[in-house]
Amino acid sequence: MMKQVSVFQPGWVPTAAGQRPPLNEERLPEDEVARIGAYLEAGAVVMRTTALGVDILKDDEKVVPMTIRTDGEFVWTGPVTYYVQTYGVSPDADFLAHVRARDYEVRVPTDEEIQAAAAVFMPPR
């Protein structure tokens, strides 16, 4: 099963209309921001769009890419890459362990893995 990567606090439930999910409080060490960011950028594209999402830390400015990527085991959206690269927000601990264990090298996923990653974001049939 494909695992999703997030930079948002787990278990958050909105209590009012328009609330934005809070980002993880943990920040990556400076020397690791570029390495994790490069890993995220190097993932295989699952779905590409020119649509931009809002930066919740920048007055909802529409600058956040929404492209979806995978490494064959994990799948992530553009906001994950954006918040890691822009603010050093730490993604999930299990993803970090996975990337570090791979020495920050992304492998090329199979077509089946890319399809499985796409299925994470597709509505059920």
Among 86, 37, 30, 28, which Cα is nearest to 61's?
A: 86
pLDDT tens for 37-64 read 999 999 999 999 999 999 988 888 899 9
What single letter denotes the amino acid at residue 54?
A: V
Is 0.95 surpassed by the pTM of this model? no
**pLDDT value of position 90:** 97
Asked if pLDDT for residue 124 goes beyond 80, the answer is no
Q: Please state, rounded to an integer, the average pLDDT across all residues of the chain.
A: 92
Number of residues written out for the chain: 125
Stretch 70-99: mean pLDDT = 97
The answer to whether residue 68 scores a pLDDT higher than 80 is yes
Percent of the chain with pLDDT over 90: 79
